[in-house]
Amino acid sequence: MRRVPAFKDSVAGNLYLKPPHTIFRMVGRIRLISLVVLLILLPGSLKASATPFELANDDDNADYGWSDFYPYAAAVRFSPPSQSWRITAIRLHGVCILRGAQVFYVQIWDAGLNTVYWSAFLPSSVFKNATLDWHTIQLPNIVVKGDFYVVIVPMFTLDGTQLWISIDDDPPIANTSFIVNVDDHTILRYLNATSKRPGDFMIRVVGEPVLTPLELRLSSIEFEENETIVAFTYPGESLSFGARLVKPDGFFVEENVTRVGSSFIVRTRDEGLLNVFLVTPGYETIGSSVRLENSLRKLYKDLLANYTALKHSIDDTLRQIDSLKKDNEELGLQLSQSQTLIRIQNERISELLANVSSLSNKLDSVRAEASGLRGENTLLKIGLALAIIVSLSLGFLEVGRRWRSK
């Protein structure tokens, strides 16, 4: 196969492969019967038959190829004919240049763009080198509910493996193909009929309807200083379970999962997209995902630091309150003693006032007596003076008498 130049879209930054017409000549132009017509003609065939069949949006004619670097990926939305759908395989039309051991990723998202399945594949296990054709990727019976997305991450490299996904741009356009960012699960570009480059990714799904399964649900996330604890719940039985954390650079690590009753608990120190999956007794794979960011753990650490500082402040305040309580008790005791002393002093003052009143009465009596005594003293003084005058007079008379008698 001769090398064909790739060119880069100036708007979206995506790589496109425009090969010669002979390379994209299909061996056969078999068109699938419309699924809607099939359901109208055979309304009971889906329930009666266990044979998987394809869900397709393209017309089996490839016009050019697309690829890009991580984290950009090709995504196709499917609307299955039943509420629950078992995916057994993915059919992908394209060409892969095998060089090195670079892997590519396959993801299944639900209608809310949340991961329900994630896995890495070696291109050599799926593709023949430089062979443009339909290729089958076997999946472990992934069960989805409602609309879902098949996401192929080509992991394009300049000097390694190059996976190109075919695009059919013949009208009518199904308006179900997108270019997405698998790192933050956002749609970057719509390949609908009104876009700059409309087309349908040639990605198909092989599967069949199933009964509505139980769900693996996220129940709690707890951030600690050095790890994040994530819990999922599944009320049914499981044969096996596991978890993978896809880091922001595209690499992944296997995480340990602990089952406690109906809960599946994962502890991790890293950030990225955590995918948890389990296999049911019917050998169906059910998955769920949650995005973990170290910024939340940093926020937890900040909150923990603030909590610790606040706790220390509260402890200091409580100690101050205890000290104030003790001081208050001492003051209360002193107040009680003071009140007792005041009561005793009041009793003493009352006694003193009574004594003062009694003494005042006695003083009045003494003053009355003293006044009477002063009157008597005056009389005595007058009587004494008169007695002295009389005595002196008598003395003078006696002296005069004796003097005359001589």
pLDDT tops 90 at residue 403:
no
Lowest average pLDDT, out of 82-86, 102-106, 111-115, 369-373, goes to: 369-373
pLDDT of 307 reads 73
- Tell me, rounded to whole angstroms, the distance of Cα 226 from its chain centroid: 15
- Of the two residues 369 and 187, the one the predictor is more confident about is 187
- pLDDT tens-digit readout, 219-264: 998 877 778 899 999 988 888 999 988 888 878 889 999 999 899 9
In this structure, what token pair is assigned to residue 140? 């472990």
pLDDT of 12 reads 45
- CA 136, 64, 134 angle in degrees (round to 5)? 15
- pLDDT tens-digit readout, 313-325: 888 888 889 888 8
- For every residue of the chain, which 3-state class applies, written as one string? CCCCCEEECCCCCCEEECCCCCCCCCCCCCCCCCHHHHHHHCCCHHHHCCCCEEECCCCCCCCEEEECCCCEEEEEEECCCCCEEEEEEEEEEEEEECCCCCCEEEEEEECCCCEEEEEEECHHHCCCECCCEEEEEEEEEEEEECCEEEEEECCCCCCCCEEEEEEECCCCCCCCEEEEECCCCEEEEECCCCCCCCCEECEEEEEEECCCCCCCEEEEEEECCCCEEEEEECCCCCCEEEEEEECCCCCEEEECEEEECCEEEEEECCCEEEEEEEECCCCCEEEEEEEECHHHHHHHHHHHHHHHHHHHHHHHHHHHHHHHHHHHHHHHHHHHHHHHHHHHHHHHHHHHHHHHHHHHHHHHHHHHHHHHHHHHHHHHHHHHHHHHHHHHHHHHHHHHHHHHHC
pLDDT of 30 reads 29
Closest CA to 9 of 71, 64, 57: 64
Cα pseudo-dihedral 128, 74, 289, 51, rounded to 10: -60
In this structure, what token pair is assigned to residue 164? 């190109």
In this structure, what token pair is assigned to residue 158? 């300049």
- CA 48, 236, 267 angle in degrees (round to 5)? 130
pLDDT of 10 reads 34
- pLDDT tens-digit readout, 254-298: 999 999 989 999 998 888 889 898 898 888 888 888 888 766 556
Mean predicted lDDT score pLDDT of the chain:
83
- pLDDT tens-digit readout, 95-120: 999 998 899 999 999 999 999 999 99
- Distance, in Å, from the CA atom of 77 to the CA atom of 151, rounded to the nearest integer, reads 9
pLDDT of 73 reads 98
- Distance, in Å, from the CA atom of 192 to the CA atom of 202, rounded to the nearest integer, reads 14
- Distance, in Å, from the CA atom of 36 to the CA atom of 31, rounded to the nearest integer, reads 14
Q: What is the pTM of this model?
A: 0.62
- Distance, in Å, from the CA atom of 267 to the CA atom of 210, rounded to the nearest integer, reads 33
% of the chain surpassing 70 pLDDT: 84
In this structure, what token pair is assigned to residue 353? 């006032």
Asked whether 254 and 243 are in contact (CB, 8 A), the reply is yes
Look at strands 133-145 and 84-97 and give their pairing: antiparallel
**How many residues appear in the chain?**
406
- Distance, in Å, from the CA atom of 165 to the CA atom of 26, rounded to the nearest integer, reads 15
- CA 227, 238, 49 angle in degrees (round to 5)? 135
Asked whether 178 and 187 are in contact (CB, 8 A), the reply is yes
Asked whether 154 and 121 are in contact (CB, 8 A), the reply is no
Backbone angles phi, psi at 252, to 5 degrees: -135, 160
Closest CA to 155 of 132, 122, 185, 127: 122
